[in-house]
């Protein structure tokens, strides 16, 4: 099977971007990606945009608005929606477009502008990603979903504790200070993480990711076109899984089956094992999500995730560095942009371009992007 490579990446500054529209945010990332790839926009043959919510965009066709603003009409274009995994599913669609032979050069955008509405309204909008019959109408929100996972995990694995969640917040906030694109560049101590106000027990303020504005873009090419570029990064494994929409029908509340399925597919396609991964970005919308991801991705056995964070094995110089860009926790989580930004981060890591947070000698990277409370999960493997 011919391979597909990423040859250009761009990420806007994440944060509360007042006075900047969704289209303008995407242009920041788009311009950077084209400059990185050293190609002209006329060379792009097809475009895919990940954007999760019409309500945040205040438009029913935000992708079409972005396409026009970037000056890419009348090139083929469509929008992908998979809740918080929209970005990674857009990357998957880009890979499929190239493998189908429909295009050799594809632009993938991910974008979301979430801060135009109040925090309660943003929480309400995201709550609608849950089951609209038995959950959302009764007031459950996404902090509530992940609080259920955290409560079940802590009750099942007695050796785990709230301090393990706090340690993840400490790690990711530290690395956020080393990422100039991150929303929050602020050190958080373990004491601060443990004393923050409760959002949804046992999750506290610093266990929760930020409501952010941001965009990311990547340029993907076929193997025959990749010969033009000095440092193509190959997508060698793709996995995707799904979960029941209603969380009450899940087999487990200490794991995401969709992530396990996606990881297994990606590892098999790439011909690697979890031990081969040099650097990973995982979906830490809440600190418990990162803890569970360690196990779902096979970085450790069930119940052993707390050991990884206690031993700092997921730090820059650890056994498997995870979220050394600050993760969703500190970098921010503009939901449609997150998955594309994950791809961009891994590409930069494998090209050795991450400065103070560079994983030395990284050759194989992984991204793990969860949509909703696990209804969608995408895992991608990348190789230099």
Active site residues: 84, 333
Instruction: Look at the block and give the residue holding tokens 């007695």.
Output: 158
If DSSP codes are grouped into helix, strand and coil, which group holds residue 199? Answer: strand
Distance between CA atoms of residues 298 and 320, nearest Å: 11
Per-residue b/e over 314-325, b at no fewer than 16 CB within 10 Å?
bbbebebbbbbb
Q: Nearest-CA neighbor of 169 among 132, 225, 209?
A: 209
Distance between CA atoms of residues 59 and 234, nearest Å: 35
If DSSP codes are grouped into helix, strand and coil, which group holds residue 213? Answer: strand
* Residue 56: φ, ψ to 5°: -65, -40
Distance between CA atoms of residues 369 and 224, nearest Å: 29
The two three-digit tokens of residue 212, written as one number: 């952010």
For the chain, count helices (H), then strands (E): 14, 11
Distance between CA atoms of residues 17 and 120, nearest Å: 18
DSSP letters, 20-88, are: --HHHHHHHHHHHHHHHHT--GGG--EEEEE---HHHHTSS-HHHHHHHHTT-TTS-EEEE-BTBTHHH
Q: Which residues does 138 contact at the CB level (< 8 Å), separation at least 6? A: none
């Amino acid at each position: 099977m011919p391979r597909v490579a990423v040859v250009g990446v761009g990420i806007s500054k994440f944060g509360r971007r007042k006075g900047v529209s969704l289209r303008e945010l995407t242009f920041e990332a788009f311009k950077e990606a084209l400059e990185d790839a050293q190609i002209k926009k006329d060379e792009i043959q097809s475009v895919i945009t990940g954007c999760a919510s019409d309500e945040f965009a205040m438009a029913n066709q935000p992708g079409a608005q972005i396409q026009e603003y970037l000056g890419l009409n009348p090139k083929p274009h469509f929008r992908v929606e998979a809740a918080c995994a929209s970005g990674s599913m857009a990357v998957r669609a880009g890979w499929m477009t190239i493998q189908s032979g429909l295009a050799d050069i594809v632009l993938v955008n991910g974008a979301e502008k979430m801060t135009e509405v109040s925090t309660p309204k943003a929480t309400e909008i995201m709550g609608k990603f849950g089951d609209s019959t038995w959950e959302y109408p009764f007031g459950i929100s996404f902090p509530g979903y992940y609080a259920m996972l955290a409560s079940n995990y802590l009750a099942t694995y007695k050796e785990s504790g709230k301090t393990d969640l706090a340690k993840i917040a400490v790690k990711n906030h530290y690395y956020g200070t080393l990422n100039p694109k991150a929303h929050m560049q602020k050190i958080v101590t373990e004491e601060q993480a443990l004393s923050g106000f409760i959002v949804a027990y046992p999750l506290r303020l610093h266990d929760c990711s930020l409501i952010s504005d941001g965009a990311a873009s990547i340029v993907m090419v076929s193997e025959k076109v990749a010969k033009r570029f000095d440092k193509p990064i190959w997508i060698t494994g793709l996995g995707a899984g799904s979960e029941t929409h209603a969380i009450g029908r899940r087999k487990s509340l200490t794991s995401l089956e969709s992530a396990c399925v996606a990881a297994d597919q990606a590892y098999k396609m790439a011909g690697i094992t979890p031990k081969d991964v040099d650097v990973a970005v995982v979906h830490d919308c809440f600190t418990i999500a990162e803890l569970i991801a360690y196990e779902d991705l096979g970085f450790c056995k069930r119940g052993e995730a707390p050991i990884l964070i206690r031993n700092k094995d997921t730090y820059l110089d650890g056994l498997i560095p995870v979220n050394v860009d600050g993760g969703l926790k500190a970098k921010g989580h503009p939901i449609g942009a997150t998955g594309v930004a994950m791809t961009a981060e891994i590409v930069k890591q494998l090209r050795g371009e991450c400065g103070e947070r560079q994983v030395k000698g990284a050759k194989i990277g992984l991204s793990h992007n969860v949509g909703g409370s696990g209804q969608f999960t995408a895992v991608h493997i990348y190789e230099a």
